[in-house]
C-alpha cells in the first residue's frame, strides 16, 4: 500500500491523541495528549521518541524521564489562568514536630492486599479504567493501613493514573516505610493507622460528606497532623 | 507534582511541597528510595517551617527543599 492510500480505519492525529484518554489506546501515563493541541502533542511525542532512541544507546534513563516529565508538565498546563484560592485554611503546629502524631493519607488508591475496598474480586488496575465514570460518581472508601504494614502487603488501583507504578513500589505514593524510619530517629511520631483512598471520586461527596467524617475519625485517634499525598 | 501545581493553588492547600516527579510517583521514582526519603524529610521540614497559609515549596533535586 502506498503512503497516500487510506481506508475507513485510518485515524487522524487528533483521533490518535484523544484515544489515549480512555479510548482504544488508553494510557494513564499519556492521557494528557488528548487535551493538547496537535502541534503541542507532536512536539511532545517527538521529544519523547528522540529520548527513547538516545536511551537505547546510552542507557541514560534520566534523559528519558526528563523528556516524559516535560511533556507531562506541558500537557497539564491549564488552558485558562487559574484563580488561586483566596481563603486558605491554616493551623499552626501545636508543638514540636517530634511531639506530634502524624497520619499518612494517599489519594493514590493504596490498600492492603487482603483488604480490597472493592471486595475480593475487585477489578485490576487495567480493568478499572472502564469504570472511570462510576468512580467519579461514587463515594470514596477510606482504607485503613496499620502503621507496621510492610510494602509487600500493599497494592494500589486507581482509574485516573497508572497505579502499576505504586504496585511495583508503594512508597512512590505511600511512603509509610520512610516515615517509620524518620519516626525511629525521633523526627515525628506516627499514628497507629494510616490511610488510602481513590482520588478519582465524586469531589462533592468527598468534600461535603466524607472528608469531615474522616477528620473526626482521625481526631478521635489523636492524630495531630496529616501528610496527604496527591496523585 | 509540578504538573498539578495549579490545582493546588486553586484548592488552597495549607502547605504544599511540589515535587519534580511524574504522576503516579509523587514521592519519587519507583525504587529510588534515597530520593523518596529526601522528599518525605522535606515535607516534614515544610510542615515545621511554614508560618503562612498557602506556603508552597518546590523540592530541590539536590535533596533539600
User: What is the distance between the alpha carbons of residues B53 and B14, in angstroms, rounded to a whole number?
Assistant: 5
A168 with A222, same domain? yes
Residues of B with CB under 8 A from a CB of A: 1-4, 6-15, 20-31, 33, 36-37, 39-41, 43-44, 47-48, 51-54
Residue of A140, A109, A152 lying closest to A206 (CA atoms):
A140
Domain check: are A22 and A134 in the same one? no
* pTM summary value: 0.92
Q: Is the Cβ pair A173, B4 closer than 8 Å?
A: no
pLDDT tens digits along A52-90: 999 999 999 999 999 999 999 999 999 888 899 999 999
Give residue A211's domain range.
97-229
pLDDT for A89-99, tens place per residue? 999 998 999 99
Number of domains in chain A: 2
A180 and A139 housed in the same domain: yes
Residues of chain A with pLDDT under 70: 1-8
- Is position A61 within any domain? yes
> Do residue A45 and residue A121 come from a single domain?
no
Residue A101 phi, psi (nearest 5): -100, 125
Q: Assess if residue A168 is contained within a domain.
A: yes
Beta bridge partners of residue B15, listed in sequence order:
B55
Question: Are residue A122 and residue A68 in the same domain, yes or no?
Answer: no
**CB-based contacts of A65: which residues, under 8 Å, 6+ apart?**
B22, B29
Q: Where on the phi/psi map is residue B31: left (φ > 0), alpha (ψ -120 to 50), or beta?
A: left
A41 & A134 share domain? no
According to DSSP, residue A211 is labeled H
Amino acid at each position: 500500500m502506498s503512503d497516500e492510500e487510506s481506508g475507513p480505519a485510518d485515524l487522524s492525529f487528533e483521533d490518535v491523541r484523544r484515544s489515549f484518554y480512555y479510548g482504544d489506546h488508553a494510557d494513564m501515563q499519556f492521557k494528557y495528549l488528548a487535551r493538547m493541541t496537535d502541534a503541542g502533542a507532536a512536539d511532545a511525542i517527538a521529544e519523547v521518541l528522540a529520548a527513547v532512541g538516545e536511551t537505547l544507546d546510552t542507557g541514560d534513563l534520566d534523559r528519558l524521564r526528563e523528556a516524559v516529565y516535560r511533556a507531562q508538565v506541558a500537557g497539564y498546563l491549564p488552558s485558562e489562568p487559574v484563580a488561586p484560592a483566596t481563603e486558605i485554611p491554616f493551623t499552626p503546629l501545636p508543638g514540636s514536630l517530634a511531639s506530634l502524631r502524624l497520619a499518612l493519607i494517599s489519594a493514590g488508591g493504596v490498600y492492603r492486599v487482603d483488604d480490597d475496598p472493592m471486595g475480593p474480586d475487585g477489578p485490576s488496575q487495567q480493568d478499572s479504567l472502564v469504570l472511570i465514570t462510576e468512580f467519579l460518581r461514587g463515594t470514596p472508601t477510606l482504607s485503613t493501613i496499620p502503621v507496621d504494614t510492610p510494602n509487600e502487603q500493599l497494592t494500589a488501583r486507581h482509574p485516573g493514573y497508572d497505579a502499576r507504578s505504586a504496585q511495583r513500589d508503594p512508597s512512590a505514593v505511600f511512603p509509610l516505610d520512610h516515615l517509620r524510619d524518620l519516626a525511629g530517629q525521633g523526627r515525628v511520631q506516627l499514628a497507629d493507622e494510616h490511610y488510602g483512598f481513590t482520588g478519582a471520586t465524586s469531589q462533592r461527596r468527598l468534600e461535603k460528606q466524607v472528608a469531615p467524617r474522616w477528620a473526626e475519625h482521625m481526631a478521635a485517634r489523636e492524630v495531630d497532623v496529616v501528610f496527604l499525598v496527591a496523585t | 507534582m509540578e504538573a498539578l501545581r495549579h490545582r493546588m493553588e486553586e484548592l488552597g492547600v495549607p502547605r504544599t511541597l511540589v515535587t519534580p516527579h511524574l504522576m503516579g510517583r509523587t514521592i519519587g521514582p519507583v525504587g529510588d528510595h534515597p530520593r523518596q526519603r529526601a522528599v518525605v524529610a522535606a515535607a516534614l521540614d515544610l510542615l515545621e517551617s511554614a508560618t503562612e497559609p498557602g506556603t508552597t515549596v518546590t523540592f530541590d533535586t539536590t535533596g533539600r527543599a
